[in-house]
Structure 1
Amino acid sequence: MQGLHLTADLHNCRCDPAWLLDADRLGDWCIKAVQAAGLQPVNQLFHTFPATEHGPGGITATILLAESHMCIHTWPEQKAVTLDVYVCNFGGDHSARARSLMQSLVERFAPEWTEQRSLDRGDES
């Protein structure tokens, strides 16, 4: 078992607010971004949460990949997003594809600043 797990916390996103609120729009774009990165989507779930006293409901967008998964959570009232891209490198190294997808995701939300992390998982044996 071995893989690459990328995470990013995006702050003060300057994108069109629809990207933080419209699950269908975000989901359609995510499928295209996954494919453009050379990864294979096998299933997906895009969910909009109801509004609360704190503001409009955010989105959770999850795509199950043949290589593992991608997940997005939006907090429109904070103009914040968290991203998670994980690829298993069983049978081939998908790390460059994961990094490409993460870059596309970050660019989509146009954050003022980000906190990104990378974790190599498992070992080569």
Structure 2
Amino acid sequence: MNGLHLTADLSGCPLLTLLVDEHELASRTRAAAEAAGLSVVGEQWHRFPDAPDGQPGGVTGMLLLAESHAALHTWPEIASVTLDVYVCNYGGDNSAKAEAMMAALIEMFSPAQARRQRLERGLLGGDAVA
């Protein structure tokens, strides 16, 4: 069950229409997963309603992957996005696929700033922690 968990916090995302369009986000996120060689087995997307002051609602969404998952959440009111890509490496090392998908997602949003994090998870066998 060892794997790689990547996250990114993006700010200064100039494509505000992308931050509120769940259908476009779903399509582009699926394309990024497939281009990276990951297998989409399900998904869920939700657009939040506009705020009373007229601010557009953001989007939260998730792809279920045979290798694990990818999720995102947008905040159009502050031009920000959070990304989460986790892949298991049980049958082979999918780390490069996770990195490729994360890079494609970051490029898709063209942020002014991107803070990335990387966590190796679930060591197996002799490397497992007791």
Query: What TM-score do the two structures reach when normalised by structure 1?
Result: 0.96
How far residue 51 of structure 1 moved from its aligned partner, in angstroms, is 1.2
Give 2:32's aligned amino acid. Answer: A
How high is the sequence identity, in percent, across the aligned residues? 48
Structure 1 residues 24-81: Cα deviation after superposition (integer angstroms, max 9, x where no partner): 0110111111100000000001110011246210001100000000001000000000
In structure 2, distance between residues paired with 1:28 and 1:7: 20
In structure 1, distance between residues paired with 2:27 and 2:114: 24
Partner of 2:32: 33
In structure 2, distance between residues paired with 1:12 and 1:61: 20
Partner of 2:73: 73
More strand by share: 1
Moved over 4 A (4+): none
RMSD over equivalenced CA pairs, Å: 1.0
In structure 1, distance between residues paired with 2:85 and 2:32: 12
Q: Find the structure with the greater CA-based Rg.
A: 2
Give 1:67's aligned amino acid. Answer: E
Partner of 1:44: 43
In structure 2, distance between residues paired with 1:17 and 1:104: 18
Unaligned runs of at least 5 residues, structure 2:
126-130
Give 1:27's aligned amino acid. Answer: A
In structure 2, distance between residues paired with 1:51 and 1:6: 30
In structure 2, distance between residues paired with 1:80 and 1:101: 18
Give 1:108's aligned amino acid. Answer: M
Partner of 1:92: 92
How far residue 17 of structure 1 moved from its aligned partner, in angstroms, is 1.6
In structure 1, distance between residues paired with 2:52 and 2:7: 28
Unaligned runs of at least 5 residues, structure 1:
none
